[in-house]
Structure 1
Amino acid sequence: MSTVAEKAGVSTKTVSNVVNGTGSYSPETEQRVRAAIEELGYHINPFARGLRSRRTDTIALVLPNLYQPFYAEFAEQVIRSPETQGLKVVLESTRGDAGRERAVLSSHRELVDGVIYVPHALGPEQYLPLPFARPTVVLGERPAEAAQLGLDYVETADEQGAHAVVGHLLAQGRRRIAVIGERPGPWAGARRLRGYRTALAEAGVDYDESLVIGVDDADLWSSGVAGATRLLRTRVRFDALFCFHDVVAVGALSVLARSGIAVPDDVALAGFDDIEAARFASPPLTTVDLGRESIARTAVALLRSRMDREDSRELPGRRESTGFDLRVRASSTTTPAPTESGVTAR
């Protein structure tokens, strides 16, 4: 900057103001500074700037994988969010591996200013004791023991959304509602299973464990194929199928079609996530939209407000909740839905 200042006949402070868009200077001064920068071939080094300011203007988005369309679409919303303006987003795929989740959460240190974390392999009892290196926002249900920690949470309406979609299936006269989802663990599937069971109990329908099919990786289309195949082989009677993810529902739909089972006449089908493919399935898939844009904006806003503090640890942990929309489509009802959004909750 000293070389540019000498070339342009101004102070280094003026060069800094022009480069950073701060302070006041005349158009003529700006033109001289920019001409000197171009002539000298000067380029800003963001890494050197970060070492001096201790800011990199970069955040990490830690996801279980990118082959699940919901995560890919959510990542796009984080990158495009107005709250992300001026920040770079680094995507980290943990591939559902507990060791990678631990490493990513505790090793970023000087590389990023903050982290948005979607837990998958680790439960709260495993990730809460970790030495979080940077301000962190967690997506999912906040456990009681996290209240005293400097972690912010965006709680998604997994349980409420599952309750609504199962209530919709019950309202269609379905009573034998099968489920395909994650095996028991710390994932969103546990919350969706709670919503399923609550809706059944409120309708006076007994919970039947033989109707619940667990799969190892509910982010794969093939898991829907495998889960539906296993369900049919049990020969248990069911008149509806609720899948904890749209990718599983679309995979299951292909099995039902090949087996001569009509959707929705024989079996009503519903998913969860409202990925783009849900609208183009045949028939279009009833599902729950958690509001990816709202989740992304809320998470980035929480993270940014903590990053902007001199000591982010002084700020107590916060919790924000987002709503959902029930998208009723042809896979679950033989009569046309009045609108695509049958239920909205906030």
Structure 2
Amino acid sequence: MSTIKDIAKHAGVSVATVSYVLNNNRYVSPEKKERVLAAIRELNYAPNAAARGLRAGESRTIGLIVSDISNPFYPDLAKACEDEAQKHGYAVHMINTNDQPERMRQAVAQAREGKIDGLIVTSALAADRELLQSLLERNFPLVLAHRRLEGLDADLVESDNFEGGLMAARHMLRLGHRRIAFMSGVAGSPISELRAAGYRQAMKEAGIDVPPEWVLSGEARYAASYERMLGYADMPPGERPTAVINMSDIGAMGVLDAAADRGLRVPGDVAVMGFDDLFLAAFRSVRLTTVRIPRYELGRQATELLLDRISDANRDIRRVVLPVELIVRGTCGGERA
């Protein structure tokens, strides 16, 4: 691996000159600068960003907090963060919390210790408000992405989750369903609350009262959603829901499998819908109707906001709401995608 001394020797300049070019902190004549840059290209030199950051009092690293790294929702979002960060010379350090408060505290400790220059939080819960507020009071760059947190004055990028719940329920109603269940997500998740509110609004517009057993938590996970659907499937045919909206595509897969294990036809006996539009939703063996969440754009805009906040700590707070889209496939009937 080439070193700064190798670059200097190859370009016929001093080590100090190479350092000036790399850090862009002193004037270097155009001719010498071009020789240094040519040497860097020819020797495939990769500057040590961490070392430069230590000298400058910054790490050139941003943190990305997610709730479940095994969830296929996050790769597109994380890739967008990394793509955008790399354009500006930053690395991304991912932190998986599993929605556990202790792991969130550990991530915040890294921020306080200066190991990262800013933080994108995709998994904020109400229990995290005080912790994240402590960072904002220190003027630490922080952006909420995907999950909002009421009462926290921070930059935010989110999808239109209320509209997603509204359009999902309205679609089921247009198909003639009246007994429509909504499987919510993690307790305290603003996303779950907003989507459930949209669902309830659509049901109210249709003049349908929602009994408590129609809104149960599937935790946006396969196993919990599978168990909830078994409970619905075992209800008398005249009482069980004829349509189920799940908080996530992963949870919807659990609903589909439980329906199959109880001998229910999809969409004949029960229509099923998810959220996210993960790659598996389009599999020919699945063809899941879902609400598409713009995951890559969530990550890209969150990183853009964070880097802007790092460069200008005093600018006004910005909040971005991204549109969602209904993707109609086979699990509700009326397939179009």
Tell me if both proteins adopt one fold, taking TM over 0.5 as the criterion.
Answer: yes
For each residue in 1:323-342, what CA deviation from the matched residue of structure 2 results, as whole angstroms up to 9, or x when unmatched?
Answer: 11110111112x342xx3xx
Q: How far apart in 2 are the matches of 1:143 and 1:27?
A: 51
Instruction: Kindly indicate whether the alpha-carbon contact (under 8 Å) linking 1:213 and 1:231 is maintained by their aligned counterparts in 2.
Output: no
Instruction: Kindly indicate whether the alpha-carbon contact (under 8 Å) linking 1:61 and 1:91 is maintained by their aligned counterparts in 2.
Output: yes
Which segments of 5 or more consecutive residues in structure 2 lack a partner in the other structure?
Answer: none
Q: How far apart in 2 are the matches of 1:49 and 1:28?
A: 19
Instruction: Kindly indicate whether the alpha-carbon contact (under 8 Å) linking 1:83 and 1:297 is maintained by their aligned counterparts in 2.
Output: no
Cross-structure match for 1:344? none
Q: How far apart in 2 are the matches of 1:318 and 1:270?
A: 32
Cross-structure match for 1:317? 317
Structure 1 residues 161 and 281, CA, compared in 2 at 3 Å: closer, same or farther?
farther
Cross-structure match for 1:259? 262
Cross-structure match for 2:326? 326
The 5-angstrom pairing of residues 51-90 of structure 1 reads 51-81=54-84, 84-90=87-93
Q: Which of 144, 150, 153 is the equivalent residue of 1:138?
A: 144
Structure 1 residues 179 and 14, CA, compared in 2 at 3 Å: closer, same or farther?
same
Query: What root-mean-square deviation, in Å, do the aligned CA atoms of Structure 1 and Structure 2 show?
Result: 3.1
Q: How far apart in 1 are the matches of 2:282 and 2:38?
A: 53
Q: How far apart in 2 are the matches of 1:324 and 1:43?
A: 40
Instruction: Kindly indicate whether the alpha-carbon contact (under 8 Å) linking 2:20 and 2:28 is maintained by their aligned counterparts in 1.
Output: yes
Cross-structure match for 2:206? 203
The 5-angstrom pairing of residues 1-346 of structure 1 reads 10=13, 14-19=17-22, 24-26=29-31, 30=35, 34=39, 44-81=47-84, 84-108=87-111, 109-123=113-127, 125-132=129-136, 134-140=140-146, 142=148, 145-147=151-153, 151-182=154-185, 184-215=187-218, 217-218=219-220, 220-235=221-236, 236-280=239-283, 282-309=285-312, 312=313, 314-333=314-333, 335-337=334-336, 340=337
Structure 1 residues 74 and 45, CA, compared in 2 at 3 Å: closer, same or farther?
closer
Instruction: Kindly indicate whether the alpha-carbon contact (under 8 Å) linking 2:146 and 2:157 is maintained by their aligned counterparts in 1.
Output: yes
State the percentage of identical aligned residues.
29
Which segments of 5 or more consecutive residues in structure 1 lack a partner in the other structure?
Answer: 341-346
Structure 1 residue 264: deviation in Å? 0.9
Structure 1 residue 242: deviation in Å? 0.5
Structure 1 residue 234: deviation in Å? 4.4
Structure 1 residues 123 and 188, CA, compared in 2 at 3 Å: closer, same or farther?
farther
Structure 1 residue 318: deviation in Å? 1.8
Q: How far apart in 2 are the matches of 1:240 and 1:159?
A: 19
Q: How far apart in 2 are the matches of 1:229 and 1:93?
A: 30
Instruction: Kindly indicate whether the alpha-carbon contact (under 8 Å) linking 1:114 and 1:307 is maintained by their aligned counterparts in 2.
Output: yes
Structure 1 residues 33 and 11, CA, compared in 2 at 3 Å: closer, same or farther?
farther
**How many matched pairs?**
326
TM-score between both structures, scaled by the size of structure 1: 0.83
Structure 1 residue 289: deviation in Å? 0.9
Structure 1 residues 11 and 201, CA, compared in 2 at 3 Å: closer, same or farther?
same
For each residue in 1:230-285, what CA deviation from the matched residue of structure 2 results, as whole angstroms up to 9, or x when unmatched?
Answer: 22234442111100110010111011112121111111110001111111163400
Which is worse superposed, 281-290 or 171-180? 281-290
Q: How far apart in 2 are the matches of 1:83 and 1:48?
A: 17
- Secondary structure of residue in 2 paired with 1:272: strand
- Secondary structure of residue in 2 paired with 1:271: strand
Structure 1 residue 4: deviation in Å? 7.3
Q: How far apart in 2 are the matches of 1:83 and 1:208?
A: 49
For each residue in 1:174-228, what CA deviation from the matched residue of structure 2 results, as whole angstroms up to 9, or x when unmatched?
Answer: 110012222541341111111110111112111121212224x42x322221221
Instruction: Kindly indicate whether the alpha-carbon contact (under 8 Å) linking 1:101 and 1:122 is maintained by their aligned counterparts in 2.
Output: no
Give 2:295's aligned amino acid. Answer: R
Give 1:194's aligned amino acid. Answer: A
Q: How far apart in 1 are the matches of 2:231 and 2:116?
A: 44
Which is worse superposed, 60-69 or 15-24? 15-24
Q: How far apart in 2 are the matches of 1:127 and 1:141?
A: 16
Instruction: Kindly indicate whether the alpha-carbon contact (under 8 Å) linking 2:124 and 2:149 is maintained by their aligned counterparts in 1.
Output: no
Structure 1 residues 30 and 204, CA, compared in 2 at 3 Å: closer, same or farther?
same
Q: How far apart in 2 are the matches of 1:140 and 1:251?
A: 23
Q: How far apart in 1 are the matches of 2:262 and 2:169?
A: 24
Structure 1 residues 106 and 258, CA, compared in 2 at 3 Å: closer, same or farther?
same
Q: How far apart in 2 are the matches of 1:197 and 1:45?
A: 53
Q: How far apart in 2 are the matches of 1:183 and 1:3?
A: 54
Q: How far apart in 2 are the matches of 1:120 and 1:144?
A: 10
Q: How far apart in 2 are the matches of 1:33 and 1:138?
A: 41
Cross-structure match for 1:343? none
For each residue in 1:47-83, what CA deviation from the matched residue of structure 2 results, as whole angstroms up to 9, or x when unmatched?
Answer: 3311111232211110011111102332223223487
